Amino acid sequence: MPTDITMPKLSDTMTEGRLVSWKKSVGEQIERGEIIAEVETDKATMELEAFASGVLAEQRVKPGEMVAVGAVIGVIGGGGEAPPPAGEKPAPPPEGARQPPAEPPAPERAGEVPERVMELPGEEQPSPVSAGHSDDTKAAPAVRRLAREQGVDLARVAGSGPDGRILQEDLERYLAKRDEEGTAGGAPAAAAGEGEPLTRMRGAIAKVTGEAWRTIPHFYETVEIDMKEAVEIVRELKGSGHDATYNDLTIRAAAMALGSFPLMNASFAADRIVRHDAINIGFAVAMDDGLQVPVVKGCQGLSLAEIARQTVRLAERARSGAITQEEISGGTFSISNLGMFGIDEFAAVILPPQAAILAVGAVAERPAVRDGHLVAAKTMRVTLSCDHRVVDGAYAARFLGELRRILENPVLMLV
């Protein structure tokens, strides 16, 4: 029997994806497990494996087209088997045939990082069809959304995709032509430079941070940490083959402190708080058009040197675009460091479903009082953003106190 190739759900926030390229041509033999296509999510580009052997019988989606999760993008046929036409509906089951009961969802195992704890808003439902709009118009959800935002009746747009499907570039051409000609009412086209469409990465950031800001009751606490000993550790390790940065030290110290304050390593989920045994710390990596948050998994069992190697590897993969969904998923706590840009202190937005994020500023000389004398001291300011549904101020303050104690005594991280 033919096997449908569908757009997979590769992250808990993914509602649609873009087909980047086909790796097989129609008529080519495919073996189960072979890479047949590349798809782009809102976070990364992933390879799509075949789940059946056979011949690639159809490519229903062109490279560059946006597709809803679960939509059929191609068909694998058995030996010499012809797939049904794209528009043909499958024959209904015999009358009286009983559908098997749906399987109950698998129970969540204690200590396991939930794949989805806080639901982010899914694709908004289309508004009732107004005059001139057709429910039968073939277009991906992203194209429909853009059409709604721009006030476009998709029935007026000529589609160049399979079976007349309207692609994003079709709609963009229509909008460009409309702007050039002006609307029927004589309204002027938008002035150049007035706005630009969001990239997929910027759109994902807008969605996640916007929802976090609306739904998570943030509170903030800031401490200043004496980094004299940490500066010496970084200097001594430089060139030794075990180099470490201030960010690596902070990740290691945070992992140790989280072990003593497990609520900081938890998630809020509807009517409960989920604690995680694994300490998986994400760290923000700046990109040209946004940021990625690779995750160092199992930090509770990693040495400083192992953490340093992981951060170098993951940051390089993020900047090169080779990062995988697995490498940016499953975080239980996050760190955002802007110290390298000379930022003294700032507050970061919590990344759902995590309960906290640590914003790290620059290590710099600042005035400090030591034994009654005013001196110049190397210090670093950190600000902890917390979800008040999970932790309270005193608990967060004790966590910050432990973090400061470890960073001011970095030898604790070397044992």
| Contact assessment for residue 83 and residue 243, using Cβ atoms and an 8 Å cutoff | no
Decide: 19 and 41 in contact? Cβ < 8 Å. no
Q: Which amino acid is at 164?
A: G
Q: Which of 1, 23, 15, 220 is nearest to 90 (CA)?
A: 1
Looking at residues 20-33, what average pLDDT do you find?
89
Q: Is the dihedral of CA 10, 86, 3, 23 positive or negative?
A: negative
Token pair recorded at residue 248:
């690596």
**Higher local confidence (pLDDT), 229 or 78:** 229
Q: Quick one: average pLDDT of 149-164?
A: 80
Integer angstrom CA distances of residue 282 from 40, 56, 153, 292, 307: 21, 39, 43, 9, 12
Q: What percent of the chain has pLDDT over 90?
A: 49
* pLDDT, the chain, mean: 83
Q: What is the pLDDT, as a whole number, of residue 89?
A: 45
Enter the tokens of residue 311. 């951060």
Q: Would you state the pLDDT for residue 262? A: 97
Catalytic residue annotation: 388
Over the stretch 280-303, which tens digit does the pLDDT of each residue have?
Answer: 999 999 988 889 999 999 999 999
Bridge-based pairing of strands 373-387 and 356-370 is antiparallel
Residue 78 to residue 82: CA distance in whole angstroms:
8
Chain CA centroid to CA 281, Å: 14
Fold match, 3-77 / 201-413: no
Residue 264: band (very low, low, confident or very high) from pLDDT cuts 50, 70, 90: very high
Res 98: pLDDT: 46
Categorize the per-residue pLDDT at 199 as very low, low, confident or very high, splitting at 50, 70 and 90: confident
| DSSP output for 181-223 | H--TT-PPPPPTTS--PPPHHHHHHHHHHHHHHHHS-EEEEEE
Tell me which fold the domain 3-77 belongs to: OB fold (Dihydrolipoamide Acetyltransferase, E2P) (2.40.50)
- Which tens digit of pLDDT belongs to each residue from 35-82? 999 888 766 778 888 888 889 999 999 998 888 888 999 999 875 554
d(CA 48, CA 41): 12
| Domain range list for the chain | 3-77, 201-413
Residue 192's pLDDT is what?
52
Thinking of the domain 201-413, which architecture would CATH place it in?
2-Layer Sandwich (3.30)
In terms of Cα–Cα distance, which of 84, 38, 35, 37 is closest to 57? 84
149 CB-contact burial (10 Å; exposed 0-12 / middle 13-18 / buried 19+): exposed
Residues 6+ apart with CB under 8 A from 229: 408, 409, 410, 411
**163-174 pLDDT, tens digit each:** 778 888 888 888
Q: Label residue 180 by pLDDT band (50, 70, 90).
A: confident
